[in-house]
Structure 1
Amino acid sequence: MNPPAQLHWLENGIEQSVRWRSESGAPPPRRVVLADDTMGADAAYRLACEGTALLWRGDFHNARQLLQALARRADRKPRRHARASAAGAQASAPSTPAQAFHLHRQAQAQRARVLGMLIIPLAADYAVPLRRAPDFRDACTEAWDADARTARDGADSVVSLRELSGVVGAHEWRKKGVEVASLGGPGHNRIHPHYGVFSPVRGEYVQLVAQAPLPSNTLAFDVGVGTGVLSAVLAHRGVQRVVATDQDPRALACARDNLQRLGLQERVEVVQADLFPTLALYGQAPLIVCNPPWVPARASTPVEHAVYDPDSRMLRGFLDGLAAHLAPQGEGWLVLSDLAEHLGLRPREQLLGWIESAGLAVRGRLDVRPRHPKAGDASDPLHAARAAEITSLWRLGHRQQS
């Protein structure tokens, strides 16, 4: 394992260095200035846009206010755009949905870089040594200490305030949990997402798995378990044994935690694997479920791997390996949104071609329209695609049996 990256800066003429924390693996900024309550938002924004990190030495609440001010400036339309002619504005508009998507991702990345330049110090025990700083030690311990790659090493560190806010937000979500109606009544139907594991806030795909007719209730594989929500739904529906896989240590820990909370740990076995359980150990299953990332694009943070699948690697891996792991009369349930099709990133014909070349046939499909807020947000740059989106459960089987 490589040693942690270090942030370097000069303070009182002495070179300083400290561990740099970045969930995305971004390198530490090369230029660092000390900042406190005397720094104005415009000056801070100018430095951040230039790639200069602001190592905060002032009041913690003022740092939060500064981050909000930076966000407002990052979201503000440039004045030159307001003065642009209608013809010029039309010429600069994206010509295809795919171009709109890539421009949107570029804008998101630039915004994240700018806001990530406000840096907060952390003591070795994750205490924040700033005035009026809350106690975030429990949240940081949950997020980082369970993973050897990010665990504390007895030294001080620094992290962007934006990332620290994400850690704290994940801690609150983990305590509160997400209600999943398909798991029963109140009090027994919550999934608690861990930091870095995608939360099942979009319930339509869970609803599809809860409603599709079961081909068998003896054994199911859940490929890419995440929080464990689909394994829990299958067990709640009466599947006697579920083998759930994932290759992310955080997801494995999260799934085990949730299944234990729900009292399902005896019926769901969680194993580390890239896609399918080992054939020699687990054999074939009459039901195999997979909810791969829906958009074929590069993820910029680990949690985005639940949304973005470069070159459709997981989708193609699931399809290519399904026939070998599927029992003769079994079904593979592929839970997939068609958002990529509406964005011009993956045509329907390509998906159908991959299904056919894998020796599979479509036995049926269940569809549902998303109900998340962005589907109705006309100001979203990707509104047209989101408004047309449909999430489907594809029932796949061996082609010769269709």
Structure 2
Amino acid sequence: MIEWSEHGEPRSALWRSESGAPAPRRVQPADDTLPADTAYRLACEGTVLLWRGDFQNARQLLQALMRRADRKPAKAAARAAQKIAGAGLAERFHLHRQAQAQRARTLGALLIPVEGDYSIPLRRAPDWRAACTEAWGPADGQASVVALRELLGIVGAHEWRKKGVEIPALGSAPGNRIHPHYGVFSPLRGEYIDLVAQAPLPGTGLAFDIGTGTGVLAAVLARRGVRRVVATELAPRALVCAGDNLRRLGLLGRVELLAADLFPPGRAPLVVCNPPWVPARPSSAIEQAVYDEGSRMLKGFLAGLREHLEPGGEGWLVLSDLAEHLGLRSREELLGWIAAAGLRVLGRQDTRARHGKAQDASDPLHAARAAEVTSLWRLGAASL
């Protein structure tokens, strides 16, 4: 719960935070009379602002806070640049993550009240009850408070869910869209999907898809002719999302969804896994699709793959080498884990990164992103 005082009386409401951040302790009601400079100073000092004014003015204030967060004083910018220039690759990455986290905390200081039916009790507030229901589940009548920035993310996810993401590997439109749910990583980067769509299949009888997420790779395998796919997932949101997508695509009869941490029971001639690519701590549930502290899922997949492969079967590890360019994992470490798991490399297919950040020279991690290669590693059991 979040607690504050307003008009001399104690107030409280349910605190909502996708990142699991603790409820703030310093809460100050604010309205249209609050100057942006004052709001930014309070946010930097750790005071959150519970908005009581016009909703559209709150959106404008958030934009003003963003401009101030991105406009560093010359001396501070020079010190930060000097610190980054003298840092190693891994340290640069962690400094970048720290800066991102600090910016997120500052911009997350503008809070919006939400009624028990998910309506917003502010002037000119939009009706976002459908988006909130998708993210939080059915309304339970309890008033809550959420950061405006997070609320905007919920609405953005709602729009993506309605529109869907076109996946050429699933065939022609309109039956080739994946609809990501809130909190489930969207398959906007198509290179890893294309690798799975193009690699020669070792068989078409059965495949396991480990950590299916939206269900996109399971759907690609089924559309390629694999008669039965068992797709596992641990996150409840992702299981619901995958089920929705497979139903839309007419593939529920060929893809079985299973709540499991990594592997289903049994063996298969093909086992596919696209684990998080960067060994770092995620800051929210959706970041778990990208960041995995200690490479837990990658190591777990490699360690258990051999006992879930049929004789002569293949494990497809779909992995970016971004972590290698960031100094967070070496190629030698990866090959060592493969060998230690009793596996051997049968082949590898590579593709260059095509996303926008790979071409953005202003990105602090541009050098690593520009060099990034995504690979499909074909793994088999090593000879005893």
Q: TM (normalized to structure 2)? A: 0.98
Q: Which runs of 5+ in 1 are unaligned?
A: 1-5, 146-150
* Other-structure match for 1:323: 306
Residue of structure 2 aligned with 1:39, choices 34, 38, 56:
34
1:82 deviates by 5.7
Secondary structure of the 2:275 match is: coil
1:99 deviates by 1.0
After superposition, the C-alpha distances for 1:27-82 in whole angstroms (9 at most, x for unaligned) are 11110111100011100000000110100000000000000110111111223236
Aligned partner letter, 2:44: C
Cα separation, 1, equivalents of 2:268 and 2:289 = 24
Listed as ranges, the matches of 1:93-172 within 5 Å are: 93-145=85-137, 152-172=139-159
* Other-structure match for 1:73: 68
Q: Does 1:270 align with 2:254?
A: no
Q: CA 1:292/1:14 → structure 2, altered by over 3 Å: closer, same or farther?
A: same
1:97 deviates by 1.3
1:83 deviates by 6.8
Secondary structure of the 1:400 match is: coil
* Other-structure match for 1:345: 328
Q: Does 1:26 align with 2:18?
A: no
Q: More displaced, 58-67 or 73-82?
A: 73-82
Aligned partner letter, 1:352: L
Secondary structure of the 1:37 match is: coil
Cα separation, 1, equivalents of 2:183 and 2:81 = 38
Q: CA 1:83/1:260 → structure 2, altered by over 3 Å: closer, same or farther?
A: closer
Cα separation, 2, equivalents of 1:138 and 1:322 = 41
Listed as ranges, the matches of 1:219-298 within 5 Å are: 219-277=206-264, 279=265, 283-298=266-281
Q: CA 1:135/1:91 → structure 2, altered by over 3 Å: closer, same or farther?
A: closer
Aligned partner letter, 2:63: Q
Cα separation, 1, equivalents of 2:343 and 2:353 = 27
Residue of structure 2 aligned with 1:382, choices 349, 353, 365:
365
Residue of structure 2 aligned with 1:215, choices 202, 212, 237:
202
1:152 deviates by 3.9
1:214 deviates by 0.1
Secondary structure of the 2:383 match is: helix
Cα separation, 2, equivalents of 1:292 and 1:91 = 32
* Other-structure match for 1:398: 381
1:92 deviates by 5.5
* Other-structure match for 2:350: 367
Cα separation, 1, equivalents of 2:295 and 2:360 = 27
Instruction: Calculate the aligned-residue CA RMSD, in Å.
Output: 1.2
Cα separation, 1, equivalents of 2:221 and 2:381 = 22
After superposition, the C-alpha distances for 1:221-277 in whole angstroms (9 at most, x for unaligned) are 000000000000000000000000000000000000000000000000001000000
Cα separation, 2, equivalents of 1:113 and 1:125 = 27
Secondary structure of the 1:155 match is: coil
Listed as ranges, the matches of 1:38-57 within 5 Å are: 38-57=33-52
Secondary structure of the 1:193 match is: coil
After superposition, the C-alpha distances for 1:327-379 in whole angstroms (9 at most, x for unaligned) are 01100000000000000000000000000000000000000001100000000
After superposition, the C-alpha distances for 1:283-327 in whole angstroms (9 at most, x for unaligned) are 210000000000000000000000001100000000000000010
Aligned partner letter, 1:383: H
User: Percent identity between the aligned chains?
Assistant: 71
Cα separation, 2, equivalents of 1:110 and 1:38 = 26
Secondary structure of the 2:202 match is: coil
Q: CA 1:92/1:317 → structure 2, altered by over 3 Å: closer, same or farther?
A: closer
Cα separation, 1, equivalents of 2:183 and 2:83 = 39
* Other-structure match for 1:308: 291
Would you say the 8 A contact 2:117–2:140 is kept in 1? no
Listed as ranges, the matches of 1:186-225 within 5 Å are: 186-225=173-212
Task: Report how many residues are paired.
Answer: 384
Q: Which runs of 5+ in 2 are unaligned?
A: none
- Runs of 4+ in structure 1 displaced over 3 angstroms? 81-84, 88-92
Cα separation, 2, equivalents of 1:312 and 1:89 = 30
Cα separation, 2, equivalents of 1:71 and 1:91 = 23
Aligned partner letter, 1:171: H
Cα separation, 1, equivalents of 2:22 and 2:82 = 37
Aligned partner letter, 1:119: L
Q: CA 1:117/1:241 → structure 2, altered by over 3 Å: closer, same or farther?
A: same
Cα separation, 1, equivalents of 2:86 and 2:9 = 49
